[in-house]
Amino acid sequence: MARERDPDEPRIYLLPNLMTAGNLACGFFAVLTIFKGISVATTSASYDFAAAQPYYEKAILLIFASCIFDLLDGRLARFGGQDSPFGREFDSLADVISFGMAPSMLMAKAVLLPLDESVVGLGWVLACIYVLCGAIRLARFNCIAAMPPRPGRTTDFSGLPIPMAAGFISSLTYLVIYFNETDRNLGAWKYLLGGAMLGLSLLMVSKVKYPSFKKVGWRTRGTPLLIVVAAVVLIVTVRFHYVMPAVLFSAYLLYGLVVRPFLPVKVQREIEAEGEEVGEAAEEKDVE
């Protein structure tokens, strides 16, 4: 006889939450890798950035992997009609580790450490502000998502999504480490990245609208040209893996902050949901 499900027990769907678990695992190992880099680089006399560099680069790659898992869990949930309150809360908890704690620790030790020497504690203060704003942004998102649907509500994000903030700051760190190699005194970079981290923190809790691209899913139909462009971007990203992540995350950040507000609504829809609209039109034609 089948056991009846407890009505108070939340529904837990396997595949979406498995992707979220992958996100959390990558974030957890990124934090451990950063700690390992700190322990290897720190001696009684000085801090050897060259010794820590491979660990920091590995931690950044783990954060990028978390971004991929985070992208997949939502897509799988929507594709299978398996959105659930449990998945939403689990995803937010994982995001705090993968996109809050891990990037902030990385910045504090790999980039902002010189700021601690010039202004005591400044690097850690900036990192703490980033984590705090990221957690507030996730809590606000969950509150909005739990509200009953109403006419006119869009799927846009209010404030910069924390995975994009983490990807942006991590990709910039990846780029800075690559160009500076063993030079721990990063010159003006430490001030620029410190300011960028504070700016990202404010963007996460702002009311700036960013597209979610939730309408672009597994059934979205493209064109041959779009497929070629996507393939070229993928190849270039793999070939220039130190540079292209920063370019891609910067493009999303600037699109929502600078470009999107000045675009006509029709152009916005074509950029953000054209594939789905074409796909739905084709399906309706087939039905007719």
**pLDDT tens figures, 172-204:** 988 888 876 655 555 677 788 889 999 999 999
CA distances from 184 to 47, 51, 146, 187, 242 (A): 9, 11, 45, 9, 18
Q: Which of 59-63, 254-258, 276-280 has the highest mean pLDDT?
A: 59-63
User: Which CATH number characterizes residue 199's domain?
Assistant: 1.20.120.1760
Q: Is 199 within the bounds of a domain?
A: yes
Q: Which of 45-49, 51-55, 134-138, 267-271 has the highest mean pLDDT?
A: 134-138
Is residue 236 pLDDT above 90, yes or no?
yes
Q: Is 116 within the bounds of a domain?
A: yes
Average pLDDT over the chain, rounded to an integer:
82
Is residue 206 pLDDT above 90, yes or no?
yes
Which one, of 106, 108, 129, 105, lies nearest residue 117 by Cα?
Answer: 108
Indicate the pairing of strand 157-158 with strand 209-210: antiparallel
Q: Is 232 within the bounds of a domain?
A: no
Q: Is 162 within the bounds of a domain?
A: yes
What percentage of the chain reaches a pLDDT higher than 90?
42
Number of H helices, E strands in the chain: 11, 2
Q: Is 277 within the bounds of a domain?
A: no
Model pLDDT, residue 220: 65
Contact 174, 189 (CB under 8 A): no
Question: Residue ranges of the alpha helices (H) in the chain?
Answer: 14-41, 49-79, 85-95, 102-106, 113-118, 122-146, 162-180, 189-204, 224-239, 244-254, 265-287
Interatomic CA distance for residues 119 and 47, integer angstroms: 17
Model pLDDT, residue 273: 62
The pTM for the full model equals 0.86
Provide the residue range defining the domain that includes 181. 14-147+154-211
Model pLDDT, residue 276: 45
Is residue 54 pLDDT above 70, yes or no?
yes
Model pLDDT, residue 181: 62
SS3 254: helix
Q: Is 264 within the bounds of a domain?
A: no
**pLDDT tens figures, 23-52:** 999 999 999 999 998 888 777 567 777 788
Is residue 284 pLDDT above 60, yes or no?
no
Q: What is the mean pLDDT of residues 110-119?
A: 67
Model pLDDT, residue 66: 96
Is residue 275 pLDDT above 80, yes or no?
no
Model pLDDT, residue 280: 39
Q: Is 285 within the bounds of a domain?
A: no
Q: Is 255 within the bounds of a domain?
A: no
Instruction: Count the domains in the chain.
Output: 1
Model pLDDT, residue 1: 45
Q: pLDDT tier at 279 (50, 70, 90 boundaries)?
A: very low
